[in-house]
Amino acid sequence: MSVLVLAMLGFALPKPPLTAQETEKPATATWAHIELKGSYAEGPQMMSLFGDVTESLAEAIGRLDKAAKDDSVTGVVLKIDGPSIGRGKLNEFRQAIGRVRAKGKKVVAYLDSAGSGDYLVAAGCDEVVMPESGVLMLLGVRSEVSFYKNLFDLIGLKAEMLRVGEYKSAAEPYSRTEMSKEFREELEQVLGDFYDQMVEQVATGRGLTAEKVKDAIDNGPHTAAAAKELGLITRVAYEDELTGILKGDKVDTTIKLTKRYGKKKLDNDFSGPLGMIKIMNMMMGLEPQARSSKNPKIAVIHASGMIMPGASASDFLGDSTLGSDTLVKAIEKASSDATVKAIVLRIDSPGGSALASDLIWRAIEKVEKPIVASMGDVAGSGGYYIAMGADTIFAEPGTITGSIGVVGGKIALEGLYNKVGITTSVVARGKNSGILSMTSGFTESERAAMTKLLLDIYKQFTEKAAKGRKMEYAKLEKLARGRIYSGATALKLGLIDKLGTLEDAVEHAKELA
């Protein structure tokens, strides 16, 4: 009865106090999910035959840097699925991972299985996770070179190759049956550097001694369980168990995994009059023109592919050539732009045409603004040539560079023609008119003329290299002779100025500007 009276008078019975679980909502932790797979070329990429546009190295690194700066992101899950990267790009990813960790954010790597390249990226993360059935193929470094001379002899081909520099080995597979002493010597040196870098990266990343890492390499491959026992990975778990791992001891935390974090969205609206232009730009790897800004800036120019005269080109398989006309125009445009205070030239090229390389070098020499070269996976021969004009040269520890030498020649088809019954009649004027003919080898006169030409080109190359490196000619020439070096060794020899990433090169350019 008393209860009824209270209710009628508008009173309510007091409620019991709320518990902590009822007053506090479960915390949510947002993790960026980034997948590394496929190739990561320098600069914008063209559309493939299948209609997709591959992510560039700069875009992938940019996603990691975005996660580092994003206050809403707790950490990064990095799924590593066999990316096709060299040792230069590998270092770029490791440094970007380091920048995320420097912000106090965890980076968890997940690999179904892993080769050496995949694992070296993962080894720089806080945690490395692999499923029970996964296999770690950390097996060291190896280079295999096939030689075709016996095959050429069999079918009647002859490699008429000349070189200046005993280490200039590019033509050896076609003119020999095995490595020359010099070829083996330089490969031993470079692979030795790569092996030492591998051991150091694993040791520092996983907190192991160098000896333990070497033992693990020599006793590989390893199952996931064995890899964990050795300290190479931190957990054996499936991908669907990552959420629990990310929670840690905070079991009430809700994990939000942002798939494709920071991935550039593809503009697939091809309607309207500009639709076809969009398609063509994507197919050719051309980015939309950004609005011009009067703010001071650093121009980053990408120099990727085999160096050739003319315009740059790409095919539908993703291979590209670096045209001297295209690159010279880009350099001149940046040089004449008053808002550009310095230029960074990012090089990923094994070389190519001596003429094209020299034209690019000349364009760089004429630039009155600070210009910094940044070497990626490879900057050899012509790739090194174009770097020589820069004020400062950066390389990754694992960059393949050097190869200051010259090679030239042709494949003579005369033997093959004889085998299959093809005959050739020739009318000529000029003692050396057959230098470029592939129906026969060099005459004695043609060989002498070709050798003199290559020697002249080599002299130009080495003289400019000595001037660019502020080194006595005799010392530079001794380091040249076609020999390749790792970036780490090139620094010791004075062929480059600093070890560092593209970001390091940009920061240095800002200091010079």
Q: Residue 61 belongs to a domain with what CATH number? A: 3.90.226.10
371 and 247 in a common domain: no
| pLDDT at residue number 284 | 43
Does 249 share its domain with 339?
no
**Cα(104)–Cα(234) distance, rounded to whole angstroms?**
19
In degrees rounded to 5, what are phi and psi of residue 320? -135, 155
What 3-state class would DSSP assign to 59? helix
Q: Structural domain tally of the chain?
A: 2
pLDDT, position 53: 59
Q: Are residues 234 and 298 in the same domain?
A: no
Distances (CA, A) of 101 to 27, 83, 244: 22, 21, 20
Any bridge partners for residue 79, and if so which?
35, 110
Q: What is d(CA 156, CA 176) in angstroms, rounded to the nearest whole number?
A: 15
Q: Which two tokens stand for residue 438?
A: 């592939």
Query: How far apart (Å, rounded) are the C-alpha atoms in residues 53 and 42?
Result: 13
Q: pLDDT tens digit string along 38-83?
A: 989 887 655 544 445 578 999 999 999 999 999 999 999 999 999 9
348 residue type, one letter: D
> At residue 276, does pLDDT exceed 70?
no
Residue type, 349: S
Residue 15 in domain:
no
Is 330 part of a structural domain of the chain? yes
User: Environment class of residue 38 by beta-carbon count within 10 Å: exposed (0-12), middle (13-18) or buried (19+)?
Assistant: middle
* 205 within some domain: no
Residues 455 and 504 in one domain: yes
263 band by pLDDT with thresholds 50, 70 and 90: confident
- Alpha-carbon distance 183 to 174, whole Å? 14
- The tokens describing 467, both together, are 């001037």
Give yes or no for residue 15 having a pLDDT over 60.
no
Same domain, 250 and 302: no
Distance between CA atoms of residues 463 and 102, nearest Å: 44
Strand partners, 452: none
56 is a domain residue: yes
Q: Which of 70, 406, 420 is nearest to 256 (CA)?
A: 70
Quickly tell me which residue has 């620094």 as its tokens: 491
Are 501 and 408 within 8 A, CB to CB? no
Amino acid 246: pLDDT: 94
Q: Quick check: is 133 in a domain?
A: yes
pLDDT per residue over 443-469, tens digit each?
999 999 999 999 999 999 999 999 999
Same domain, 365 and 253: no
Instruction: Give me the mean pLDDT over the 13-24 stretch.
Output: 51
**Does residue 232 share a domain with residue 377?**
no
| Residue 234: strand, helix, or coil | coil
Same domain, 235 and 298: no
From the number of C-beta atoms within 10 Å of its C-beta (0-12, 13-18, 19+), residue 91 rates as: buried
In a domain? residue 204:
no
| Per-residue model confidence as pLDDT tens digits over 394-440 | 999 999 999 999 999 999 999 999 999 999 999 999 999 999 999 99
Domain with 503 in it: 291-512
Q: Is residue 166 part of a domain?
A: no
Question: Residue 249: pLDDT band by 50, 70, 90 thresholds?
Answer: confident
Judge if 480 and 432 occupy the same domain. yes
Predicted confidence at residue 292, as pLDDT, reads 62
**Three-state DSSP class for 159?**
strand
Summarised one tens digit per residue, pLDDT across range 305-344 is 999 999 988 765 557 899 999 999 999 999 999 999 999 9
Cα 502 from Cα 60, distance rounded (Å)? 13
Would you say 498 and 508 are in contact if contact means Cβ atoms under 8 Å apart? yes
Instruction: Between 293 and 211, name the one with better pLDDT.
Output: 211
Contact 488, 499 (CB under 8 A): yes
Q: Which of 7, 12, 55 lies closest to 34 in space, CA to CA?
A: 55
Does any domain span residue 47?
yes
Q: Give dist(CA 23, CA 197) in Å, integer.
A: 53
Task: Kindly state the tokens that stand for 170.
Answer: 């590019």
Provide long-range contacts, Cβ within 8 A and 24+ apart, for 362-368: 362/389, 363/327, 363/328, 363/331, 363/332, 364/331, 364/389, 364/390, 365/389, 366/335, 367/331, 367/334, 367/335, 367/343, 368/335
Q: Tens digits of per-residue pLDDT, 366-399?
A: 999 999 999 999 999 999 999 999 999 999 999 9
Is there a single domain that holds both residue 343 and residue 483?
A: yes
Domain co-membership, 473 together with 376? yes
Separation of alpha carbons 410 and 412, rounded Å: 6
Clarify whether residues 229 and 377 are in a common domain: no
| Mean pLDDT value across the chain | 89
Half-sphere exposure of 438 (CA within 13 A, CB side): 8
Which of 258, 273, 308 is the last residue in one of the domains?
258
* Chosen domain end from 236, 258, 280: 258
Average pLDDT of the residues in 187-204? 98
